[in-house]
Chains A and B, each alone.
Chain A
Amino acid sequence: MDSANPTSPKPPRPRSGGPRDSRKHTPKVNKKGLYQRAVKDAFVKLNPRQMLKNPVMFLVWVGTIITALMTIDPNLFGPTQGNNPRVFNGLITLILFFTVVFANFAEAVAEGRGKAQADALRSTKSDITARKLLPDGSTAEVSSTTLHRGDLVKVVAGDIIPADGEVMAGVASVDESAITGESAPVLKETGSDVASSVTSGTRIISDELTIRITSDPGKGFIDRMIALVEGAERAKTPNEIALTVLLAVLTLVFLFVVATLPTIANYVGSPISVAVLIALLVALIPTTIGGLLSAIGIAGMDRVAQFNVIATSGRAVEACGDINTLVLDKTGTITLGNRLAEEFIPVNSHSMQDMANVALMASVFDETPEGKSIVRLAEKLDARVNFDKSQAEGIEFSAKTRMSGTNLPDGNEVRKGAVDAIKGFVRSRNGRSTSELDAAYERVSRLGGTPLAVALNDDIYGVIYLKDIVKPGIRDRFDQLRRMGVRTIMLTGDNRITASVIAQEAGVDDFIAEATPEDKIEVIHREQAQGKLVAMTGDGTNDAPALAQANVGVAMNTGTQAAKEAANMVDLDSDPTKLIDIVAIGKQLLITRGALTTFSIANDIAKYFAIIPVIFVSARLESLNVMNLTSTSSAVLSALIYNALIIPALIPLALTGVKFRPLTANQLLQRNILIYGLGGVVAPFIAIKVIDIAITAVRLA
């Protein structure tokens, strides 16, 4: 909202751009009993209605029932050969059963973590008594769950805010630590673009507020996030749908292959039992990714929630991974945001004292951190207010005029603001600008600072140097983004020289100087027209259209209700830099899914070489038995045991995600093919051989 506003307030609590984990929200999640519950849920999920949701595992589940029937009657589908087929079929049944249970367990653990996260979020909400303001002005004590959008409530010091809302009257300090983990209280007041919105579950610690409720019961931001992390409203994302189709097609192909195999087997004189056919089918279909797919998605949502970001859909989190362009505000995102007056540069033969006096006069009504820092610097130079403040009029900053100031009681007008705007102000009063002003302006700009000109009526007194510091480590993060193919565009209300200095220092790819809020939406439109996905942050009402237009819009929790409604994510910590982390989480989610899919499909090669040669013994395929497995039974059991055990072995990777590395798409592809593709081919060869030796040693087959 204030990229064009050189002196506007910024969201409080700026944070440094340190490593990702340091910005992770303090965990409040209670994970006690998580695994016991997951074990129980893994069995509950065996309900056929739930199993139908996962096509790959449903096939394994049906196969388990058939082999179970064949354990009871080994000759169910015709006379069988071999020693003790009942034990062999029983072992296959047991392994297949555990394959399904392990897959259900993976999903249950991910859901359990989500539920624990939801419980932590829910603990910030409680059914509390609210003082509802009635139309006649009286108050009635009602339960917070009965409050609806548009209701007015009064909260006083010590109260918990009953629902999300907008401050209508009053000024108060609010402790938002319950949702942000930040202990410093935040000032909430009416009319402010960034401080008028309050969140349910936070506590008012001084004074009182009148709040207009902006959400119906169960529809607040926290409620939406609870529903999402619990999985109640989890719809499949486009990538998940595409992968489900791929897995279903692969399963269908292998089903046809296995169904037609008995004809060939009979022809070559090696009849195969139905139990072995089912074992072959289960070994070939991508059970690993089929069992872990939903766990990966749920864990991705969980990771976003850990960063204290409320996402309104899984689609939004996934879209982060495909982002091509980041549109970032300079102040607060790229720089620390607490711009402070560093120096006064007098011009037009004015003394430093004159300059300090005029700067003080122009800033006495300015409540922004920048305005206050100007007052402090002026007072340090012995400037004093020499007029009656109650008779003077404060002129607020606006994006249109790009200046603020004071109308003095004696009719004089003092202004400070963007140099161009002040030049215009002076010209309109028959004054003139000088080359000395331009030199000061250029000097400050070249230092990466924001120059603010100060004028009294038609006379320019000098330039205030507002110093802003580029966040430490931000350049490295932009470098990482660039390597990942993400382009960064900085928007700032500063002049072109300042913008270019900051852009160069921070290492952004492009910048737009003297930007208006409308420029944001224009940049987004332009990028999207080139087929790119755009992410942006915003906090003001005038950011709402751009937040809605962006593929990923992250609103700050300190922002207005309109911005939060338009965005598809809300950052409870109001840290604009977090957008970079969210993009990394999205990419990590996609990379994890891709890596495990590669691994799962690559596993097929070893399983194929394990089972096919031993079931076609009479076709003399011994040369294909590269693992030299003992027998048909041991080969089938080894492949199936590997197939079952690899699912729980990969649960930690599915939940924590593949370690994120800022590499280009090509480098990532090469790396993942090497680790998960080649690893997926080699690992099962070794594992199946080891299991075969163990099975033979214990005479299981």
Chain B
Amino acid sequence: MKKIELLSRNWLVEADIASAFVWKGWCKQKLPLVTFVLFCLNLVLAPAVYAAANGSLERRYAWAVGVLILLTLALAGYLFVVVFQPERF
């Protein structure tokens, strides 16, 4: 008798549905996803800022500075797009 792994299959299907949902949402509304990705990246960046500050910054300030750094990088990326594809603007 063949053994079917229902759990594994359901997980794959649901992941596929979730990714399709996220992709559809990405196409419609980019801002929430961009914000989400930025906060995810800040999960890595904020502790690094906190460590670099050597205790002079509180944890909440490190999170805010992390967001500010990511925003600055995003603006730099946007300006690079303007430089290389100016006709879009």
Which of A's residues lie within 8 Å of B, judged by CB? 52-55, 58-59, 62, 66, 75-79, 235-236, 241-242, 244-245, 248-249, 251-252, 255-256, 259, 274
Q: Are B76 and A252 interface neighbours, CB within 8 A? A: yes
Using CB atoms, name the residue of chain A closest to B88: A53
B26 CB to nearest chain A CB (Å): 17
* Chain B residues whose CB sits within 8 angstroms of the CB of A242 once the complex forms: 86
B35 CB-CB contact with A under 8 Å: no
* Chain B residues whose CB sits within 8 angstroms of the CB of A241 once the complex forms: 86-87
Query: Which one of B1-9, B14-22, B38-46, B65-73 is at the A interface?
Result: B65-73
* Chain A residues whose CB sits within 8 angstroms of the CB of B79 once the complex forms: 55, 248, 251-252, 255
Q: Are A55 and B57 interface neighbours, CB within 8 A? A: no
Which of B's residues lie within 8 Å of A, judged by CB? 57-58, 61, 64-65, 68, 71-72, 75-76, 78-80, 82-83, 86-87, 89
Q: Which of A77, A78, A235, A255 contacts B76 (CB 8 A)?
A: A255
A-B contact pairs, 29 of them (CB 8 A): A52-B78, A55-B82, A55-B89, A59-B75, A62-B71, A62-B75, A66-B68, A66-B71, A75-B61, A78-B57, A79-B61, A235-B87, A236-B86, A236-B87, A236-B89, A241-B86, A242-B86, A244-B82, A244-B89, A245-B82, A245-B83, A245-B86, A248-B79, A248-B82, A251-B79, A252-B76, A252-B79, A252-B83, A255-B72
Q: Which of A52, A66, A79, A259 contacts B89 (CB 8 A)?
A: A52
Q: Are A53 and B89 interface neighbours, CB within 8 A? A: yes
Known: A55-B78, A255-B76, A255-B79. A248 touches B65 (CB 8 A): no
Known: A55-B79, A252-B76. A244 touches B64 (CB 8 A): no
Q: Are B86 and A58 interface neighbours, CB within 8 A? A: no
Q: Are B64 and A76 interface neighbours, CB within 8 A? A: yes
Q: Which of B61, B78, B83, B87 contacts A58 (CB 8 A)?
A: B78
Q: Are B89 and A54 interface neighbours, CB within 8 A? A: yes
* Chain B residues whose CB sits within 8 angstroms of the CB of A52 once the complex forms: 78, 89
Q: Are A248 and B83 interface neighbours, CB within 8 A? A: yes
A78 CB to nearest chain B CB (Å): 5
Using CB atoms, name the residue of chain A closest to B73: A259
* Chain A residues whose CB sits within 8 angstroms of the CB of B72 once the complex forms: 255, 259
B77 CB to nearest chain A CB (Å): 10
Please name 10 further chain A to chain B contacts, defined as beta carbons within 8 Å, in addition to the given A53-B89, A252-B80, sorted by A numbering.
A52-B78, A54-B89, A55-B78, A235-B87, A244-B86, A245-B83, A249-B83, A255-B75, A256-B76, A274-B68
Q: Are A248 and B86 interface neighbours, CB within 8 A? A: yes
Q: How far is the CA of A59 from the CA of B72 in the complex (A)?
A: 10
Using CB atoms, name the residue of chain A closest to B68: A77
Most B Cβ at <10 Å: residue of A75, A76, A79, A248: A248
* Chain A residues whose CB sits within 8 angstroms of the CB of B78 once the complex forms: 52, 55, 58
* Chain A residues whose CB sits within 8 angstroms of the CB of B58 once the complex forms: 78
* Chain A residues whose CB sits within 8 angstroms of the CB of B65 once the complex forms: 77-78
* Chain A residues whose CB sits within 8 angstroms of the CB of B68 once the complex forms: 66, 77, 274
Q: How far is the CA of A54 from the CA of B89 in the complex (A)?
A: 7
Most A Cβ at <10 Å: residue of B61, B76, B89: B89
Q: How far is the CA of A251 from the CA of B86 in the complex (A)?
A: 14
Q: How far is the CA of A119 from the CA of B68 in the complex (A)?
A: 46
* Chain A residues whose CB sits within 8 angstroms of the CB of B83 once the complex forms: 245, 248-249, 252
Q: How far is the CA of A259 from the CA of B72 in the complex (A)?
A: 8
Q: How far is the CA of A492 from the CA of B89 in the complex (A)?
A: 46
Q: How far is the CA of A241 from the CA of B87 in the complex (A)?
A: 6
* Chain B residues whose CB sits within 8 angstroms of the CB of A55 once the complex forms: 78-79, 82, 89
A57 CB to nearest chain B CB (Å): 11
A263 CB to nearest chain B CB (Å): 11
Using CB atoms, name the residue of chain B closest to A235: B87
B68 CB to nearest chain A CB (Å): 6
Most A Cβ at <10 Å: residue of B58, B80, B87: B87
A401 CB to nearest chain B CB (Å): 51
Q: How far is the CA of A66 from the CA of B72 in the complex (A)?
A: 11
Q: How far is the CA of A614 from the CA of B86 in the complex (A)?
A: 36
B39 CB to nearest chain A CB (Å): 16
Q: How far is the CA of A646 from the CA of B61 in the complex (A)?
A: 36
Q: How far is the CA of A255 from the CA of B79 in the complex (A)?
A: 10
* Chain B residues whose CB sits within 8 angstroms of the CB of A59 once the complex forms: 75
Q: How far is the CA of A242 from the CA of B82 in the complex (A)?
A: 11
Q: Which 9 A-B pairs have the closest CB atoms?
A: A248-B82, A252-B79, A78-B61, A55-B82, A241-B86, A244-B86, A248-B83, A245-B86, A77-B64
Q: How far is the CA of A52 from the CA of B77 in the complex (A)?
A: 13
* Chain A residues whose CB sits within 8 angstroms of the CB of B76 once the complex forms: 252, 255-256
Q: How far is the CA of A448 from the CA of B72 in the complex (A)?
A: 71
Most B Cβ at <10 Å: residue of A52, A78, A245: A78
Q: How far is the CA of A236 from the CA of B89 in the complex (A)?
A: 8
Q: How far is the CA of A255 from the CA of B77 in the complex (A)?
A: 11
B75 CB to nearest chain A CB (Å): 6
Using CB atoms, name the residue of chain A closest to B57: A78
* Chain A residues whose CB sits within 8 angstroms of the CB of B64 once the complex forms: 76-78
Most A Cβ at <10 Å: residue of B65, B78, B79, B83: B79
Using CB atoms, name the residue of chain A closest to B74: A62
Using CB atoms, name the residue of chain B closest to A54: B89
Q: How far is the CA of A66 from the CA of B70 in the complex (A)?
A: 13
* Chain B residues whose CB sits within 8 angstroms of the CB of A58 once the complex forms: 78
* Chain B residues whose CB sits within 8 angstroms of the CB of A54 once the complex forms: 89
* Chain B residues whose CB sits within 8 angstroms of the CB of A251 once the complex forms: 79
Q: How far is the CA of A77 from the CA of B86 in the complex (A)?
A: 33
* Chain B residues whose CB sits within 8 angstroms of the CB of A79 once the complex forms: 61
